[in-house]
């Protein structure tokens, strides 16, 4: 009996349930939540038998107790044959009216204060809602329509924050874990929109800043990605060459075949998260991380056996997943990037992430001077990006770039780099 209408028909056929439901409704409105109890004074024997049958207890034990707890009634609805029908939902459908609405600002503020105490993980977000600013009017409309439904949303949101994944996971899988509904956290649903709002709140630098929802699908995906959540896991990928991989079943045949065929693999996040290990298919034990796709192609043409990953001048989640598995396998990463502020920042991010197993290769002052584009100058704003991280490792190089205000591109010295690599990868 999972259908709400079937449940109503059942209770309408049971003696005393209409009288009990009216008492339950009054108690619910008194506490504005599923709390409290109603006394069974004035119920006839046949009516008590009906209630005892619902709770699956004897009529004598029901008489001794002499009351029905709202929480107990709600818990009973969570078991077969009702399978999760909520008491508030049942009463609203039975009486065909909205219950627990909060029409005034004062009522909603007190309500939100209570939620702050109960859901501490969402305290800052709920406090922001209490400001009643215009940008959260849509949320207050939800509360006014059904505070009970909103409280159920808050419960799911709190669980979502508590269980935020440390590894990439599809949003539908995450939603299934939290709510048992794969679509509940989709941004098109009320709960999904609230979820984006909560995530946006955690990105604020200061409490006085407004919470800004993503304006389009691309920005929604970007926000979700920052918390390891993906609407789909096909477009996020990593490009590799000459790397072996393993799953729990052993060697991954696709990666192994690509090594033997000297083929490049572009692997989506969907497949990467299944891997337990990634390591270079060469005895040197080094994987080169090449930022520039043109340089990646050029090196591979002349040094076909070199283990490499191409970042395409941006980090993807799939790339970081492969990096983690290489680190766990005990091998080293060597970053090869252009002498631009963005390239330097990416190099430093890799060094910060894997301080003992990563370094740069040929990102030094002599190579920079040879690779400079003499017709391209960096603005002062471009150079400010060099201050994003403060690592001694590249400090001298950054000072040189600031002094000259020029970028350098490794394609200008590609032949020299390739000749050096050939010494190690014949």
Together in a domain, 280 and 410: yes
Residue 222: is its pLDDT beyond 70? yes
Together in a domain, 172 and 285: no
Residue 1: is its pLDDT beyond 70? no
Is residue 191 in some structural domain? yes
Residue 33: is its pLDDT beyond 80? no
Together in a domain, 146 and 263: no
Q: What is the CATH number of the domain that holds 242?
A: 3.40.1360.10
Is residue 381 in some structural domain? yes
**For residue 101, what pLDDT band results from cuts at 50, 70 and 90?**
low
Together in a domain, 285 and 396: yes
Is residue 343 in some structural domain? yes
* pLDDT for res 175: 95
Is residue 162 in some structural domain? yes
Q: Which tokens is 152 given?
A: 């159920």
Q: Which tokens is 408 given?
A: 């350098």
Contact predicate 367/396, CB 8 Å: no
CA angle 325, 328, 331 (to 5 degrees): 90
Together in a domain, 281 and 373: yes
Per-residue pLDDT of 76-94, as tens digits, reads 887 778 877 888 888 888 8
Where among 230, 265, 291 does a domain terminate? 230
* pLDDT for res 97: 76
Where among 230, 253, 278 does a domain terminate? 230
Which is more confident, 247 or 106?
Answer: 247
Contact predicate 278/245, CB 8 Å: yes
Together in a domain, 217 and 284: no
Rounded Cα gap, residues 310 and 288, in angstroms:
9
Residue 383: is its pLDDT beyond 60? yes
Together in a domain, 65 and 110: no
Per-residue pLDDT of 159-191, as tens digits, reads 999 999 988 889 999 999 999 999 999 999 999
Together in a domain, 280 and 386: yes
Rounded Cα gap, residues 97 and 160, in angstroms:
31
Residue 287: is its pLDDT beyond 90? yes
Q: How would you class 249 by CB atoms within 10 Å of its CB: exposed for 0-12, middle for 13-18, buried for 19 or more?
A: exposed
Highest mean pLDDT: which of 28-37, 63-72, 102-111?
63-72
Residue 273: is its pLDDT beyond 80? yes
Together in a domain, 335 and 356: yes
Is residue 100 in some structural domain? no
Residue 174's domain spans which residues? 105-230
Residue 426: is its pLDDT beyond 80? no
Is residue 208 in some structural domain? yes
Residues contacting 47, CB < 8 A, separation 6+: 15, 16, 19, 20
Together in a domain, 47 and 140: no
Together in a domain, 337 and 391: yes
**For residue 99, what pLDDT band results from cuts at 50, 70 and 90?**
confident
Where among 230, 255, 276 does a domain terminate? 230
Is residue 409 in some structural domain? yes
Number of domains in the chain: 3
**For residue 100, what pLDDT band results from cuts at 50, 70 and 90?**
low
Together in a domain, 12 and 122: no
Question: Of 117, 132, 139, which is closest to residue 198 (Cα–Cα)?
Answer: 139
């Amino acid at each position: 009996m999972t259908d709400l209408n079937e449940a109503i028909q059942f209770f309408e056929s049971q003696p005393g349930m209409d009288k009990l439901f009216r008492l339950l409704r009054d108690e619910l409105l008194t506490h504005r939540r599923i709390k409290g109890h109603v006394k069974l004074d004035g119920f006839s024997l046949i009516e008590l038998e009906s209630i005892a049958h619902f709770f699956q207890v004897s009529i004598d034990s029901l008489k001794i107790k002499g009351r029905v707890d709202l929480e107990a009634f709600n818990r009973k609805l969570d078991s077969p044959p009702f399978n999760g029908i909520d008491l508030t939902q049942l009463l609203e459908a039975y009486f065909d009216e909205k219950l627990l609405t909060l029409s005034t600002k004062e009522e909603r503020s007190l309500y939100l204060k209570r939620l702050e105490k109960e859901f501490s993980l969402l305290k800052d977000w709920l406090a922001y809602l209490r400001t009643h600013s215009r940008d959260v009017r849509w949320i207050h409309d939800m509360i006014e329509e059904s505070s009970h439904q909103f409280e159920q949303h808050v419960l799911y949101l709190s669980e979502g924050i508590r269980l935020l994944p440390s590894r990439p996971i599809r949003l539908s899988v995450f939603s299934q874990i939290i709510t048992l509904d794969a679509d509940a956290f989709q941004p098109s649903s009320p709960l999904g929109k609230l979820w984006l709002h909560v995530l946006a709140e955690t990105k604020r630098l200061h409490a006085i800043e407004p919470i800004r929802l993503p304006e389009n699908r691309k920005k929604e995906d970007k926000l979700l990605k920052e918390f390891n959540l993906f609407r789909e896991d096909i477009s996020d990928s990593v490009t590799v060459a000459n790397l072996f991989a393993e799953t729990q079943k052993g060697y991954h045949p696709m990666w192994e075949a690509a090594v033997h065929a000297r083929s490049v693999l572009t692997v989506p996040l969907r497949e990467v998260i299944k891997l337990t290990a990634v390591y270079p298919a060469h005895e040197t034990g080094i994987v080169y991380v090449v930022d520039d796709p043109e340089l990646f192609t050029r090196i591979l043409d002349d040094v076909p056996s070199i283990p490499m990953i191409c970042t395409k001048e941006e980090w993807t989640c799939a790339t970081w997943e492969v990096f983690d598995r290489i680190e766990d396998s005990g091998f080293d990463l060597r970053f090869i990037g252009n002498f631009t502020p963005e390239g330097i920042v990416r190099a430093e991010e890799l060094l910060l992430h894997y301080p003992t197993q990563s370094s740069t290769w040929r990102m030094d002052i002599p190579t920079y001077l040879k690779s400079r584009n003499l017709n391209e100058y960096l603005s002062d704003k471009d150079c400010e990006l060099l201050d994003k991280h403060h690592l001694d490792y590249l400090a001298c190089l950054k000072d040189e770039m600031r002094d000259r205000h020029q970028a350098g591109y490794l394609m200008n010295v590609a032949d020299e780099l390739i000749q050096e690599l050939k010494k190690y990868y014949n």
